[in-house]
Amino acid sequence: MSCQTNPSFPVGDHEAFMDLALIQAQKSPPGANKFCVGAVLIDADNGNVLSTGYSLEYAQNYKGDPGTTHAEQCCFIKIADEHNLPEERIHEVLPANTALYTTMEPCNERLSSNMTCTTRILRLKSAIKTVYVGIKEPRTFIAHNDGQGRLEANGVKVVFPVEYWRSKITKISMNGH
């Protein structure tokens, strides 16, 4: 059982879920060589938050995963730890209509050797049907990320529900640049 109580918001309240993701992003240590990203995993049928995460929330090389931890990965780690499962098996315990909110497009290429967030989402066997994204990944480190294209090509819907927050999300994401 989780020792942390997660909030609930009305189903479809994209601003509330993205705001919670932004709060997570602000916890990420700023740095010139990374983005500050926040993520929230939810049960889209009832608005319950399942887990939250932010980039570098867990130590580098966490449980043998090479490189730094990204926000989406940290959400998955919390579910895995709560249910005593390896991360790749959390689809077994996720609700049927799980959605992910992330302040930045999930990575599809990494400069470190760590698995991309897009691969982590896809290996969950369609447990995550929709990914709500704040902004596309800026071309600061990767010329063309295209996590959105890969997710959509594999049946995951990608939605940008708060495009009018682009400058606010970008400012938080670029903290330390």
Tens digit of each residue's pLDDT (9 = 90 or more) over 135-169: 998 877 666 778 999 999 999 999 999 999 999 99
Specify the pLDDT at position 141: 67
The C-alpha atoms of residue 44 and residue 58 are separated, in whole angstroms, by 26
> Which residues, including other chains, have CB under 8 Å from residue 173's CB and lie 6 or more apart?
25, 35, 36, 37, 103, 104, 134, 135, 138
Mean pLDDT of 91-101: 97
Q: What angle do CA 147, 148, 150 make, to 5 degrees?
A: 65
The tokens describing 156, both together, are: 């995951």
Mean pLDDT of 39-50: 97
The C-alpha atoms of residue 120 and residue 177 are separated, in whole angstroms, by 27
Mean pLDDT of 115-128: 94
Mean pLDDT of 77-97: 96
Query: Is 72 a residue whose pLDDT tops 90?
Result: yes
The tokens describing 37, both together, are: 């990203």
Specify the pLDDT at position 66: 81
Query: Is 28 a residue whose pLDDT tops 70?
Result: yes
Contact call for residues 122 and 88 (beta carbons, < 8 A): no
Specify the pLDDT at position 61: 85
Contact call for residues 76 and 44 (beta carbons, < 8 A): no
Provide φ and ψ at 104, rounded to 5°. Answer: -135, 145
* Dihedral Cα 122, 127, 129, 133, nearest 10 deg: -70
The alpha carbon dihedral of 164, 26, 157, 13 has a sign of negative
Query: Is 11 a residue whose pLDDT tops 70?
Result: yes
Query: Is 23 a residue whose pLDDT tops 50?
Result: yes
